Chains A and B, each alone.
Chain A
């Protein structure tokens, strides 16, 4: 933990993530205007003191919408990664602990899932089940567990051979106890790293889906669907494209820095 708090990258990442959290939590107080307030006298105004990020095609304040959009990115990231981590840990634990037939079936399943261009699979499922923020969270979750599964399996394979696990087996501890009390806690660090980096990629995927119009539906602001407006007005209003994307970039960088920082401080082998 002290090593983590001394890691500059992890701490800057954590700082960004905390700012994002408070932004979405206090969006009501921080945003200078209500996010859906239409002001027809100020349509497509460029950035100014009153509207630091300009206004959009309906005269809504872009800064306020960016602030309110942070909640979407955070919740999608967390729920999606929660789902994928849960699936990954369960399947990876079974695969790595029991080996044999279960392992082979699960690993083939992973191979098959990895063959699908993930964006294709996500779009196809959304096309069938319909776009909504909940569907997106679930779909991103159930299409991105493969990496965690492989990782957890590898950890289990190696930790299972260690002496303290062998001792527990010799004492006759139940499989459940060995998996959850002896092996899993020792595999937490890499899972945590994968989950943090997973949030970053879930945020990217969500913004991509919303940008294509199959994610969060307007008038609810999400950074992705704000960029769709940016594209529609690309010839006249650059500020509609610049700021929401910048928010995505900073968010994703924050999670990536946090994830890599945790990895560096927990696993000195990986430090170069």
Chain B
């Protein structure tokens, strides 16, 4: 197991390098460079001053030197300072936003699993029943619904018409004056819609995946054996079939990490939740390049870690993987 972990981590290094190379190329794609943004509108700029600023930021050097320097800073988690008016170090701005994005993503993953697994299992066991048909229809719609539209509709229904849930923010204005229990309820109320919205697409995909896994497993010989030796249907489905059908779900969870993180831009912006996605959106609108780059790299690294975690979980759950690797 330790050896496997070690191998997996070694394999991550070239991918990490690739991530930095692509991020760096994205940054270099801009017409002109950040300096022209700072200097173009300043009438006091002359050639000499622009040259000095370029040298100060190392922009006068060849690109591979620039890349290596940038890479060195990345390794030290030094993303520079934000162009926004607060001018704070980018890494601080991102780190204070990550917990809330992770919280929502973890909660929506839990929600996806706890809804998709039963839906998938029932659909497979009762194939072609009304439940299965209903679930298929839901899956089809789930794949096609733009999440931000779903968010708007829910805001209109539950926020505006029924007035059950708050439509923006992470906590109410009177948050600090609430009792501890009241604070939890307050945050929970704010998070219901964002979690549901961010989970919706994944929910559709996961329940369909679960259904086809289950259908596959039910056809296996060992299930027929289990039935033949007189086990109850309940034991056959939950003990023998479900456990095997669940294995590949781990991998899919790992693969869904980038989608969830990327989706956070949309729902955090709509619901005004101060997470990493909202910061990214604001940075894009303000052309705050250092922050954009920081979030881009950190988002990719989070994905990589998610995949690593899924691989490790899988190899823990399925010993065959460890042996063949």
Contact = CB atoms under 8 A, between A and B. Distances in A.
A272 B140 contact: no
Nearest to B157: A238
A127 B149 contact: no
A200 interface: yes
Interface in B131-183: 140-141, 143-149, 152-153, 155-156, 159-160, 167
Nearest to A235: B160
Given A120-B299, A208-B266, A227 B149 contact: yes
B280 A116 contact: no
A190 B107 CA distance: 35
Interface string A186-223: 00000000000000100010011001111000000000
A235 B160 CA distance: 6
A242 B18 contact: no
A213 B270 CA distance: 12
A116 B215 contact: no
A1 interface: no
Given A123-B284, A249-B144, A253-B141, A231 B19 contact: no
Contacts, number: 148
A235 B161 CA distance: 9
B143 A214 contact: no
B160 A234 contact: yes
Contacts of A130: 31
B146 A208 contact: yes
A121 interface: yes
A196 B57 CA distance: 46
Contact of B300 (A116, A208, A227): A116
A216 B165 CA distance: 32
Nearest to A251: B144
B258 A116 contact: yes
A234 B146 contact: no
A248 interface: yes
A256 B144 contact: yes
Contacts of A238: 156, 160
Interface residues of B, number: 55
B284 A117 contact: no
A241 interface: yes
A249 B153 CA distance: 13
Interface string B280-318: 110111010100110110011101100100000000000
A108 B266 contact: no
B314 to A, nearest CB: 17
A120, A121, A130, A212: which has the most chain B beta carbons within 10 Å?
Answer: A120
Contact of A120 (B143, B269, B280, B287): B280
Interface stretch (B22-30, B65-73, B221-229): B22-30
B144 A252 contact: yes
B34 to A, nearest CB: 10
Contact of B29 (A120, A125, A272): A125
A115, A204, A244: which has the most chain B beta carbons within 10 Å?
Answer: A115
B296 A121 contact: yes
Nearest to B303: A115
19 contacts: A111-B15, A112-B22, A115-B18, A115-B19, A115-B307, A116-B300, A117-B258, A117-B262, A124-B23, A124-B293, A200-B143, A207-B146, A212-B269, A227-B148, A234-B167, A238-B156, A253-B144, A256-B143, A257-B140
**Closest A-B pairs by Cβ, 4 of them:** A117-B262, A245-B149, A112-B18, A119-B262
Interface of A: 108-109, 111-121, 123-130, 200, 204, 207-208, 211-214, 227, 230-231, 234-235, 238, 241-242, 244-245, 248-249, 252-253, 256-257, 272
Given A112-B22, A128-B289, A248-B149, 4 more contacts: A111-B18, A227-B152, A253-B143, A256-B144
